[in-house]
Amino acid sequence: MKKIIYLDNAATTYPKPQIVYDQMDYVNRYLAFNAGRGLYKGAKDAEEIIAETRELIAKLVNVNRSEYVILFPSATVALNVIINGLKWDKAFNVYVSPFEHNSVLRPLYKVSKKENIEIKELPFNKETFEWDIDKTKKLFEENKPDCVFITHISNVTGFILPVKEISTLAKQYEAKVILDAAQSMGLINLDLYEVNADFVVFAGHKNLYGPFGVGGFIANPKSFSIEALEPFVVGGTGSDSLNLEMPDSLPQRFEAGSPNIVAIAGLNAALKWISEKKGEMERKERELTQILVRELKDLEIELYLPSDLQNHIGIVSLNLDGYRADEVSYILDRRFNVATRAGFHCAAFVHRFLGTVERGGTVRISVGYFNNEDEIKYLVDCLKKIIAY
Binding to a second copy (CB under 8 A): which residues in 228-247? Answer: 231-238, 241-246
Distance of closest approach, residue 325 Cβ to a second copy, in angstroms = 10
CA dist 106 and 359 (Å) reads 23
Tell me whether residue 39 or residue 388 sits nearer to a second copy (CB atom): 39
Applying the rule CB under 8 A, the residues between 135 and 194 that interact with a second copy are: none
Tell me whether residue 47 or residue 311 sits nearer to a second copy (CB atom): 47
Site string for a second copy, 5-44 (x = CB under 8 A): -x-x--xx-xxx----x--xx--xxx-xxx--xxxxxxx-
Q: Tell me which of 326, 359, 370, 378 binds a second copy, using CB under 8 A.
A: 326
Nearest in space to 208 (alpha carbons), one of 171, 183, 174: 183
Q: Is 263 in the site for a second copy (CB under 8 A)?
A: yes
CA distances from 371 to 15, 326, 364 (A): 9, 23, 15
Tell me whether residue 158 or residue 343 sits nearer to a second copy (CB atom): 343
Q: Tell me which of 48, 62, 110, 118 binds a second copy, using CB under 8 A.
A: 110
CB 58 within 8 A of CB 296: no
Q: Tell me which of 226, 256, 293, 309 binds a second copy, using CB under 8 A.
A: 256
Tell me whether residue 76 or residue 93 sits nearer to a second copy (CB atom): 76
CB 264 within 8 A of CB 243: no
Q: Tell me which of 173, 224, 330, 378 binds a second copy, using CB under 8 A.
A: 330
Tell me whether residue 73 or residue 162 sits nearer to a second copy (CB atom): 73
Burial of 324-358, coded b for 16+ CB within 10 Å and e otherwise, reads: bbeebbebbeeebebbbbbbbbebebbbebbebee
Q: At what angle do helices 373-388 and 325-334 cross, to 10 degrees?
A: 120
Biggest CA-to-CA distance, the chain: 69
Distance of closest approach, residue 249 Cβ to a second copy, in angstroms = 15
**Segment contacting a second copy by CB under 8 A, of 173-181, 279-287, 294-302, 340-348:** 340-348
Distance of closest approach, residue 310 Cβ to a second copy, in angstroms = 28
> Which distant-in-sequence residues (6+ apart) come within 8 Å of 240 by Cβ?
247, 252
3-state secondary structure 340-386: CEEECCCCCCHHHHHCCCCCCCEEEEECCCCCCHHHHHHHHHHHHHH
Quick one: which H or E segment has residue 151?
A: strand 147-151
Size of the site for a second copy (CB under 8 A): 85
Q: Is 378 in the site for a second copy (CB under 8 A)?
A: no
CA dist 367 and 283 (Å) reads 13
Distance of closest approach, residue 158 Cβ to a second copy, in angstroms = 17
Distance of closest approach, residue 298 Cβ to a second copy, in angstroms = 25
Tell me whether residue 224 or residue 336 sits nearer to a second copy (CB atom): 336
Q: Is 358 in the site for a second copy (CB under 8 A)?
A: no
Nearest in space to 75 (alpha carbons), one of 199, 226, 261, 229: 199
